[in-house]
Structure 1
Amino acid sequence: MLYAYATRKGRLTRLDRDADLGQAIWIDLIQPADSEIAALRALGVEVPSLAEMEEIEISNRLYREDGFDYMTAVLPGERADGQRAAMPVSFILAPQRLVTVRHHSPRPFMTFPDRGERSTLGCGSPDRLFVGLLEEIIARLADILEGSGRVLDETSAGVFERRSGAAGNARGRPDRLQQALREVGREAELMARVRLGLLTIERILAFYTAILDDRPEADRLRPVVRAQVRDVQALEVHADYLSSRVSLTVDTTLGMINLEQNSTVRILSVVAALFLPPTLIASIYGMNFTAMPELDKPWGYPFALGLMLATSVGTWFFLRWKNWL
């Protein structure tokens, strides 16, 4: 799939599918077909394959070839099957246009066309368009981290919440703790994808800074790029803080689950202790010895029942006296 955009009155406008791609300032390729790759090759742009984009060698992700700058970042987004994943996105910066190649759908690529003119430098040139798109991506990653922080706040509050007043809530608390673990696990996986995206964006900005002197608007671009580098570094610190909170929340949740299990085991132990003396008495009087005087007495049966009850009550008071209940 191919989307082409031109700048008209300072705004990005999508071109018709049969329009001349030479007019486009931004060409966005999504899982490009062979015909679309051929159309880009006619403009002198070599479109990297997914295998090339996934290559972890930094030399294969950040390089210059035939006057074009190839930069690849790994960004979180949604795949065609609806699953969330972190996949590579390539930015090909040419003198006349910006080409992006991706195989999933990060949200900034859907929101930026409608508000590209509101970025710091607008979208009047390929470099400004590239810097503005990075600005949108960084803002999106910041929003994801903010959302993860709210989820962690709510999850932590639920873990520490006391709901011992109702039997139904007490029975449902282990389920809530397990759900809290699942939620924290999902947020941890999301933050890992965001952290990887920030790392690759920081590498792109470092590469772009190194070649910035060759750009026609270097003086205008440099302060914005520096600000983006500071934003990325601040977000990396915040991501590390949230990761530590994830570890704390997981440890707390596991501790609460252990306490719940210990409480259940303690109740079962108390019940077993209460029934232990009556069981002993019943076992004694269940022995088939000939000389057992109580068996021939009319008060033998009530005496055995009373003794069982007395030992159970005595055991309960003993446990209360020891503060084990």
Structure 2
Amino acid sequence: MIRVYCAGRSACEPPVELSNWVLPPDAVWIDLVKPNIEEEAAVEKALGLSVPTREEMAELEASSRVYRENGATYATADIITHGDEEIPGVEPVTFVVTDGPLVTIRYVDPKPFALMVEKLHREPRLCATGTDIFLHLMETVIDRASDILSGTVVRVEGIAGHVFSGGRTVGFGKLITKLGRAQMTNARIEQSLAGLTRIFAFVGIDERMSKGEARAHLRSLSRDAESLSAHNHTIAASINFQLSAALGLINIEQSSIIKIFSVAAVALLPPTLIASIYGMNFDFMPELSKPWGYPAALTAMVVSVMLPLAWFKRKGWL
């Protein structure tokens, strides 16, 4: 699908036949959404530049993600998708900055694009050039990443409240699962922010971004991305600390359980010995024929249990 946005208009151009398609002279944004071969060829013919394939967009080498070709700057960023879910995804989106319109190639529908379209509806004259579209779109991407990071912070703080509540370690399995999901979200936010930081550094040398307002806007976006990345690192450290604390509390609880069983085994050993002795069938056992023999054996068993327990308590082992 080809979506074309023109300067000063609040909606994209209606779709036309590709065989007769001509790029509007006032176009500022060409949004390729899951383009097919014909649509890619039409855009390439209209602008005189190549459109990267989905396979090329997915490559991780820096040289494949940011480069210049035929006077255009190509930049591919991992944009967060499904940010409202517990574990969001990341998908590559390519931005092509030209002397004319901005070209975006994507195979997903991340929320920043919908927010950008809403912004154009509210303020159609806000973006008069492709450079303006790029900067405002990147600002929307950064804002969306900030919202997702804020949601992660709230989740991590809620988990911390359970981990350090002082109660028993019941349900720690679920808490560790939540921490793992928060860590996955954290890693994907970092992946996206790292790519955006690299893009801002590369696009910053483009002559189209060297003008006053555009340059200042790009620097502001770069600082925002670096600030969010630093905050994201802090959240990652908090997640790792909570995970270590949760595992430590589980080990303490398990040690306490093992200690109880060990104390019980030691405390019950003497009465077991006494019962074993008086359970032997010998003819000459004077206590068996005495009326006080049975109560004496029971008393000896009770005393043999109480003495080790009193000793353990005095030593502070209980």
Once superposed, what is the RMSD of the aligned Cα atoms? 2.6
Report the Cα offset of residue 31 of structure 1: 3.1
2:235 matched to which residue of 1?
242
Aligned mates of 1:11, 1:323 — CA distance in 2: 79
Corresponding residue SS for 1:25:
strand
Residue type of the alignment partner of 1:233:
E
Report the Cα offset of residue 289 of structure 1: 3.7
Aligned mates of 2:105, 2:44 — CA distance in 1: 13
2:31 matched to which residue of 1?
28
Given that 2:2 and 2:35 are in contact with CA atoms closer than 8 Å, whether structure 1 keeps it comes out as: no
Aligned mates of 2:15, 2:292 — CA distance in 1: 102
Alpha carbons of structure 1 residues 32 and 65: separation in structure 2 relative to 1, 3 Å: same
Given that 2:11 and 2:120 are in contact with CA atoms closer than 8 Å, whether structure 1 keeps it comes out as: no
Aligned mates of 2:249, 2:82 — CA distance in 1: 34
The one of 171, 174, 186 aligned to 2:170: 174
2:108 matched to which residue of 1?
104
Aligned mates of 2:280, 2:144 — CA distance in 1: 78
2:135 matched to which residue of 1?
131
Report the Cα offset of residue 93 of structure 1: 2.0
The one of 36, 57, 61 aligned to 1:57: 61
Aligned mates of 1:115, 1:228 — CA distance in 2: 18
1:162 matched to which residue of 2?
166
The one of 12, 15, 24 aligned to 1:14: 12
Alpha carbons of structure 1 residues 55 and 246: separation in structure 2 relative to 1, 3 Å: same
Task: Report 1:245-284 matches (<5 A).
Answer: 245-284=238-277
Given that 1:12 and 1:123 are in contact with CA atoms closer than 8 Å, whether structure 2 keeps it comes out as: no
Aligned length: 309
- Note the residue ranges of structure 2 that are not aligned, 5 or more in a row: none
Alpha carbons of structure 1 residues 17 and 144: separation in structure 2 relative to 1, 3 Å: same
Q: After TM superposition, where is structure 1 displaced by more than 6 Å over at least 4 residues in a row?
A: none
1:229 matched to which residue of 2?
222
1:115 matched to which residue of 2?
119
Given that 1:41 and 1:47 are in contact with CA atoms closer than 8 Å, whether structure 2 keeps it comes out as: yes
Q: Deviations over 1:106-157 (max 9, x none)?
A: 32122221024779x9322111000001001111112222222222221112
Aligned mates of 1:118, 1:182 — CA distance in 2: 42
Alpha carbons of structure 1 residues 184 and 25: separation in structure 2 relative to 1, 3 Å: same
Report the Cα offset of residue 246 of structure 1: 1.8
1:167 matched to which residue of 2?
none
- Note the residue ranges of structure 1 that are not aligned, 5 or more in a row: 164-169
Aligned mates of 2:30, 2:224 — CA distance in 1: 27
TM-score, with structure 1 as normaliser: 0.85
Corresponding residue SS for 1:90:
strand
TM-score, with structure 2 as normaliser: 0.86
Aligned mates of 1:300, 1:287 — CA distance in 2: 14
